[in-house]
Amino acid sequence: MLHLQMPRHFHQKEQLLNLLQLQVQLTIKLQVQLMTPLVLQMLIWAPLVILFILIVLIYGL
């Protein structure tokens, strides 16, 4: 019976907050999933690029 006595707008606010939280969590998950391959590629390529630059500098001089 308590559920019926609660004001309706309060319940709607709660639902909206829950939806917002879900939305935020989903966007974060998506961003992480999109970023992970990029980060991995950078981790693989960065050392190679640095090595290449060092070799060019050493042999250039």
Whether 40 is covered by a domain: the verdict is yes
Residues 11-27 pLDDT 10s: 888 899 999 999 999 99
Whether 17 is covered by a domain: the verdict is no
Whether 32 is covered by a domain: the verdict is yes
User: What is the C-alpha to C-alpha distance for residues 6 and 1, in angstroms, rounded to an integer?
Assistant: 9
- Predicted pLDDT of residue 58: 92
Whether 13 is covered by a domain: the verdict is no
Whether 33 is covered by a domain: the verdict is yes
pTM of the model: 0.48
Distance of CA 41 to the CA centre of its chain: 16
Evaluate if residue 42 carries a pLDDT over 70.
yes
Burial string for 37-59 (b: 16+ CB within 10 Å, else e) reads eeeeeeeeeeeeeeeeeeeeeee
Whether 21 is covered by a domain: the verdict is no
Whether 15 is covered by a domain: the verdict is no
Number of domains into which the chain is organized: 1
